[in-house]
Structure 1
């Protein structure tokens, strides 16, 4: 990009003199700067001799898409790209919440009225589960899309969404919406035209007249949902063709080997973010490219495709960032930030799925050895990227640990996974957890875990048994895990209901199109009656809410918690303890120490002093606001306790 021109435009921006004409000029400069790599990626995926004229079609489409970008959002793009807020998503001020609008507030107008609730808790970043139209019956919680831009009527309208985003911007809040980039529903307009015999739209999907090619794919493609959707293809009698359906029979995989699909999808994406979206969650992006003889997951072409989306967005809407929903092996997660020529040119944010799964492992085993081993094996992410750290989400808890690391600890990998399933899914009478199994595969013994955070951590069972010690431990575990995601490095994402200790919702078992999907166990409705009584209550709900609110407030007071790749793991020698430090130039360091055991644990106080924390007589704990006095050379941590210690 012409640096002289950029500096001139930046000076004008600082003086608030950017005009629509200047905005157009910046667009042209961004396009010129990125055009060569866009062409390289596009030509690699879609060679000109095989797809003549398609690159020109893309380039001609971009100015038309930019012309539809609202002025208010163009100004926001400039602020985030050329202003002082370029890495806003790495700030310690961000705290997120994920929710289903219908379960949380009935609809979008209701959600607008609930914005003060988020502000009270300290939440300023919302991930709303799919809002768009979907089939009336089974629809994978909205991830089977009938439209990418039309809003489901019972949730509201486009005007409601625009009103929400405008109100959120006024309050300094950010919005993330899903882009179901891998597939559509079988009711989507393209699928309907394909069923009617339109060959153009059949080529938007993977459709075959017989089982020859599908059978070749099946030899190497794993099953995602082996219980409810075995195999990867479904026969459609209307077309008399087999269609690729990796997730469910009603979700048709898009054929990105067809460049028309990419050009259509980048157009749809811009229309979607023009509602005022700040972060786009790319759903199931590891599956985007399919190739015979492979697993059709995590392929190099998928990475090139994601980068192509990203670079086009940098030209059209550079203030909007991409989240990778890549629930893959730990060693593969950082690849979605970009590698080699693509480094820094894929996603800006990724789910820290490894940390989430490892925390649940540490709760069950009461040890942190696998957590340390696994985290140290994950490559460092780019400085410009960040994580979303979470305890729970709408989905299952997968056990995607590295077998080799498990076996290096002297454990059998398959037996260890079976233990975790039995611990969390009510197969061990002594376990406090009350969860259910999801997608158990008898072929390999693999399975996943569902359940609300509170129920998996023992609160439901404690209340049933009226066991005060079990209840105290459950509350401590809830706060321990949330304290970690709030301080670890990245955007903490709280799952709606976890802030009040919501228990499992078993009502899904009575609903025909949900009863086979145990993930609905942890998709409860928000209990506003309980929330209304928080100020007058002294029960477990109020304790969790106000203590979590305190942790959120502490996070925002500590600039060192901004994500600058400034986390260092420390091994204390105690297998029950997790310890890590956040440091930064000119900022007070923060040492976080966590106990995953039900018994009090101790560590060497001299080791803590050697890092520069505390004095001989004790330490100041930020969470409690009091000093931890030492009666010996050992620092004690209560059952499931955590300390946040700042340097004096």
Structure 2
């Protein structure tokens, strides 16, 4: 018999709060979420996705139109140009904020009035699955909660994590070079608040269970407004204990289990996604035993795929792919190559050598990129991420510099991503092949602004209507590839995947549908030289009819070979 919801919740809470009475706390959480103690559990290992799922990642105001709120503009663009292309939209934090382009939230329950309102959000959620950020690790120093912290009144007095400058905090894993503790004046004297990311982003104190209850209320509000995918931002840092690394602690994992339990009991089709920009082995732990994240970001994919395409050598990408465990049913990966943040370097730990990392950094620098740093426990500054637009990251090779294969290399990267196990996600500036925005970096003083451009809709329409424009060429071809992908059972996010061994210049893998009625061999020339592949090396079944889904080419002679131009890809399928 299935264990009642309340009993499960009490057991999880006891891990996080062993010295508290957890039954009343469980009751408060269930009441806040509108759930009964014996609410029926959703089906186990249920896939809330299929091969038709493709996510667009965008800021609320990435598209601008004079006299119109950006959320209205975004919805028009989605419905006019992407209604048959994407199934879900991740709108990056659309709340009132004080810094970090939205990730320093001032009010979790309001929409930034410069973007639009909740009706605009709900309208988009009515047309597409909606993914929103639960910015759960920290909150703005200008929020009402933090003002109450300063005044020592509720709600907020004990909502933020405080540190002691005399404690040994050298083991704490840092994603930034800024000070960890920030002194603030309060009505009862100076206190030092914990700031993992910046002094304007003050870490919340989940050791106070009232903070957890507050977030349960926030989650329910989002669900009622149409949000069905929850991105837990920076969740790896959630629980702090001085003397430890303060990342990936047991309480953090248990809190994710609690949030998932509440979310999926409220809405069985909802999905929890963890954002943990860390080395691959650490990232994989956020699946738990299929009871934490439904979906985890494949953070190693962007740097490894970019490195593969600029070096013309796929050995590291192939080694990584062979090491990736198949996701259990009910869980999967989120595949992306670019996002609003930079290309993370920590996910390459253990995958690229220090010399290879530096070579990648140097290559990106030559293509106009920048580097952001983090501070290690021994006080050294290490590269944390490369800030660059994906289109410019692929403008040439490490050996020869910029060349005339930029568009082909860019399309090859996305063809790889679209075929891999997991759900593909496109950052809007990759879908549009936007270049580095150096002017925006100068205006904001923030390196990440290089890939956070804002398009005038009039300028974008003009670019997308010009067949000579690389924006139009990339946009139309990516839409075509996505349309092909969405029809293939072998591209289901949980379909079988095996790595092929076709040399260092050809990256390949095989996908098979769960019913075993479709196989697709995904083969990519990742070099700037023509490659010849013997069909006998691919092991196509002779009794099947094989066709390249991308070009329409048919395979008539299995004893022959195929020729791939620089950065050309084929999806050889036994079903049209």
How high is the TM-score relative to the length of structure 1?
0.81
2:190 is the counterpart of 1:222: no
- Three-state SS of the structure 2 residue aligned to 1:102 is coil
Which whole-Å CA distance do the structure 2 matches of 1:489 and 1:631 have between them? 27
Aligned residues: 561
- Residue 176 of structure 1 aligns to a residue whose secondary structure is strand
Q: Secondary structure at the match of 2:62?
A: helix
Greater mean deviation of Cα atoms: 585-594 or 388-397: 585-594
Corresponding position of 2:264: 314
Give the aligned partner of residue 96 of structure 2. Answer: 133
Counterpart pick for 2:16 among 42, 45, 54 = 45
CA distance 1:378–1:460, change in 2 (3 Å): closer
How far, CA to CA, are the matches of 1:575 and 1:614 in structure 2? 29
Residue pair 2:300, 2:348 contacting (<8 A) in 1 also: no
Kindly indicate whether the alpha-carbon contact (under 8 Å) linking 2:310 and 2:396 is maintained by their aligned counterparts in 1.
no
SS at match of 1:278: strand
Report if the CA contact (8 A) 1:245-1:252 is conserved: yes
Alignment of 1:53-64 (within 5 A): 54-64=22-32
The structural deviation recorded for 1:198 is 3.1
Distance 2:469 2:102 in 1: 35
Decide whether the 8 Å contact of 1:148 with 1:272 is kept in 2.
no
1:343-422 pair list within 5 angstroms: 343-401=289-347, 403-406=349-352, 413-422=353-362
- The answer for the alignment partner of 2:483 in structure 1 is 553
Q: In the aligned structure 1, how far is the partner of 2:374 from the partner of 2:35?
A: 49
Contact 1:132 1:148 in 2 (8 A): yes
Q: 1:403 to 1:490 in 2, by over 3 A?
A: closer
Matched, 1:424 2:364: yes
Kindly indicate whether the alpha-carbon contact (under 8 Å) linking 2:33 and 2:262 is maintained by their aligned counterparts in 1: no
State the Cα distance separating 1:382 from its structure 2 match.
1.7
The DSSP-based 3-state class of the residue aligned with 1:237 is strand
- The residue number in structure 2 matching 1:478 is 410
Q: 2:511 aligns to what SS in structure 1? A: strand
Structure with the higher fraction of residues in helix conformation: 1
Q: Is the 8 A contact 1:336 1:347 kept in 2?
A: yes
What secondary structure is seen at the aligned counterpart in 1 of 2:334?
strand
Shift of 1:126: 0.4
Distance 1:477 1:286, change over 3 A: same
Q: Is residue 435 of structure 1 aligned with residue 362 of structure 2?
A: no
Q: Compared with structure 1, are the counterparts of its residues 64 and 223 closer, same or farther at alpha carbon in structure 2 (3 Å cutoff)? A: closer
- Distance in 1 (CA, whole Å) between partners of 2:540 and 2:396 is 36
2:131 equivalent in structure 1: 176
Sort the Cα spacing of 1:364 and 1:475 in 2 relative to 1 into closer, same or farther, 3 A. Answer: same
The equivalent position to 1:303 in structure 2, one of 250, 253, 266, is 253
Aligned-residue Cα RMSD (Å) equals: 3.0
Please show how residues 192-271 of structure 1 align to structure 2 within 5 Å.
192-198=147-153, 201-208=156-163, 211-213=165-167, 216=168, 218-226=169-177, 229=178, 231-238=179-186, 239-271=189-221
Alpha-carbon shift at residue 445 of structure 1 (Å): 4.4
Residues 1:577 and 1:421: Cα distance change in structure 2 (over 3 Å): same
In the aligned structure 2, how far is the partner of 1:365 from the partner of 1:189? 50
Shift of 1:211: 1.7
Q: Which runs of 5+ in 1 are unaligned?
A: 3-31, 69-76, 407-412, 427-432, 462-466
- 1:121 Cα deviation (Å)? 5.9
Question: Counterparts of 1:437 and 1:629 in 2: how far apart (Å)?
Answer: 49
Which of residues 211, 234, 242 is equivalent to 1:292?
A: 242
Task: Quickly say closer, same or farther: Cα 1:613–1:191, change in 2 above 3 A.
Answer: farther
- Report deviation, 1:629: 7.8
Report the counterpart of residue 5 of structure 2 in structure 1.
34
Report SS of the residue matched to 1:392: coil
d(CA) in 2 for partners of 1:470 and 1:192? Answer: 54
* CA distance 1:527–1:578, change in 2 (3 Å): farther
**Counterpart in 2 of 1:448?**
385
Q: Of 326, 334, 337, which aligns to 2:276? A: 326
Tell me which moved more, 620-629 or 487-496: 620-629
User: How is 1:95-174 mapped onto 2 (pairs within 5 angstroms)?
Assistant: 95-105=54-64, 106-119=69-82, 122-135=85-98, 139-166=99-126, 168=127, 173-174=128-129
Q: Describe the shift of the 1:67–1:41 C-alpha distance in structure 2 as closer, same or farther (beyond 3 A).
A: closer
1:590 aligns with 2:520: yes
Q: Distance in 2 between matches of 1:347 and 1:123?
A: 22
- Change in Cα spacing, 1:316 to 1:500, as seen in structure 2 (3 Å) is closer
CA contact (8 A) 2:371 2:383 kept: no
| Separation in 1, partners of 2:394, 2:543 | 32
Secondary structure in structure 1 of the residue aligned to 2:273: strand
Q: Is the 8 A contact 2:550 2:571 kept in 1?
A: yes
SS of 2:296's partner is strand
Give the whole-Å Cα distance in 1 for the aligned partners of 2:542 and 2:440.
50
CA separation in 2, counterparts of 1:119 and 1:224? 35
Distance 1:440 1:62 in 2: 39
Whether the aligned pair in 1 keeps the contact of 2:372 and 2:447 (CA below 8 Å) is yes
Instruction: Describe the shift of the 1:306–1:399 C-alpha distance in structure 2 as closer, same or farther (beyond 3 A).
Output: same
Could you tell me how far 1:174 is from its partner in structure 2? 0.8
Deviations 1:98-121 (A, max 9, x none): 111112245222222223234356
Contact 1:321 1:348 in 2 (8 A): yes
Give the direction of change, closer, same or farther, for the CA distance of 1:459–1:150 in structure 2 (3 Å limit): farther
Distance in 1 (CA, whole Å) between partners of 2:93 and 2:506 is 38
Structure 2 Cα separation of the partners of residues 474 and 355 of structure 1: 19
Contact 1:454 1:460 (C-alpha < 8 Å) held by counterparts? no
Residue 435 of structure 1: how far off its partner (Å): 1.6
Q: CA deviation at 1:588?
A: 1.6
Instruction: Please identify the structure whose Cα radius of gyration is greater.
Output: 1
Q: How far does residue 130 in structure 1 lie from its aligned partner after superposition?
A: 0.5
Instruction: Find the residue that maps to 1:154 and give its secondary structure.
Output: coil
Q: Compared with structure 1, are the counterparts of its residues 420 and 478 closer, same or farther at alpha carbon in structure 2 (3 Å cutoff)? A: same
SS in 1 for 2:156: helix
Residues 421 and 448 of structure 1 are in contact (CA less than 8 Å); yes or no, is this contact kept in structure 2? no
1:504 pairs with 2:436: yes
TM-score by structure 2 length? Answer: 0.90
